[in-house]
Amino acid sequence: MLNPSFLDVSPEVERALGNAVPVVALESTIISHGMPYPRNVQTAMLVEAEVRTHGAVPATIAIIDGRLKAGLSAGDIEALGRGGRAVVKVSRRDIPFIVAAGRSGATTVASTMIIAAMAGIRVFATGGIGGVHRNAQQSFDISADLQELAQTPVAVVCAGAKSILDLGLTLEYLETHGVPVVGYQTNSLPAFFTRDSEFSVDYCLDTAAQVARVLHVKWAMSLKGGMVIANPIPQEFAMSRDVIGRAIAQALEEAHAQRISGKESTPFLLARVCELTGGDSLVANIELVLNNARLAAAIGAELCVLDRRW
């Protein structure tokens, strides 16, 4: 684990952690690589506001000028949004290089989990986790998010794995590494833009209090790793499986033809799916992140209640 002297926790987040006020970590790759400017900045501010509305403190995470940041200023978020894809996308392997060079970078699910854990933040809201890419048996393209979930004690509230991935292999990989996948009020794995899929989750829990209780017990027993809390997109914003399936299939073909792979593939695919759906997928993306922020705040609040009891 990196030396905490490299970490800056914002005063607001530090006060919240010190006073047992729930804190929700938020990633920054969604700002720089997830959607176009200025929609990305507007969405980041909306998500932070949603967390506050539901009684928690947001901690958007990034690397700014070589410093690990838990809690960004409005200026930091604006800079990441304006920089867009020119901003370095930072996963676990990239952290020491970006810090050593004094550069700025947007954190993925994996690196956000690392910095959140360093700061003492246990709940993280995002859109969807990375996973095993389609045709990974040839490419071996597997997101570092999955390994991070196996070793870092942060709960990730998401709308399942991104539907551009191989959901079945992603679940198999998580099972192999002991990462539980919990469906929030659902037995079916949400598929990001759609509320369900052909795959089942490991457990279904119906309340934030139930989720918090399991997390509390897991970590009290010193079991390492995090947990995936799969929260379906609200019904009114869910997309048709057929529509999103066709858009993803075309985007994957184009990515293959253009030899786009590795960490550049997800931003390309999401952007292309947005174009092919006439912007509908972007609206869905924003709404599912807001929905996850609400649930993460509720889980964080219940964890704080359990902390006080114990």
Of 164 and 188, the one with more pLDDT: 188
Length of the chain: 310
CB 1 within 8 A of CB 95: no
- pLDDT tens-place string over residues 281-308: 889 999 999 999 999 999 999 999 998 8
CB 37 within 8 A of CB 82: yes
pLDDT band at 170 (very low <50, low <70, confident <90, very high): very high
Strands 155-158 and 123-125: parallel
Angle at 245 (CA atoms; ends 170, 175), nearest 5 degrees: 10
In the block, tokens 């992603």 appear at 170
- pLDDT tens-place string over residues 49-58: 999 999 999 9
Calpha distance 110→270 (Å, rounded): 19
pLDDT number for residue 34: 84
Mind telling me the catalytic residues?
Answer: 27, 162
Average pLDDT, the chain: 93
pLDDT number for residue 238: 94
Lowest mean pLDDT among 36-45, 79-88, 213-222, 237-246: 237-246
Q: Calculate what percentage of the chain has a pLDDT beyond 90.
A: 76
Tell me: pLDDT of 209 over 50: yes
pLDDT number for residue 4: 56
Amino acid at the residue 64: I
Instruction: Report residue 299 as tokens.
Output: 């889980």
Per-residue burial over 272-302, b if 16 or more Cβ lie within 10 Å, else e, is bbbebbeebbbebbbbbbbbbbbbbbbbbbb
CATH class assigned to 4-309: alpha beta
For the question of whether the overall pTM of this predicted structure is more than 0.95, the answer is no
Per-residue burial over 41-71, b if 16 or more Cβ lie within 10 Å, else e, is bebbbebbebbeebebbbbbbbbbeeebbbb
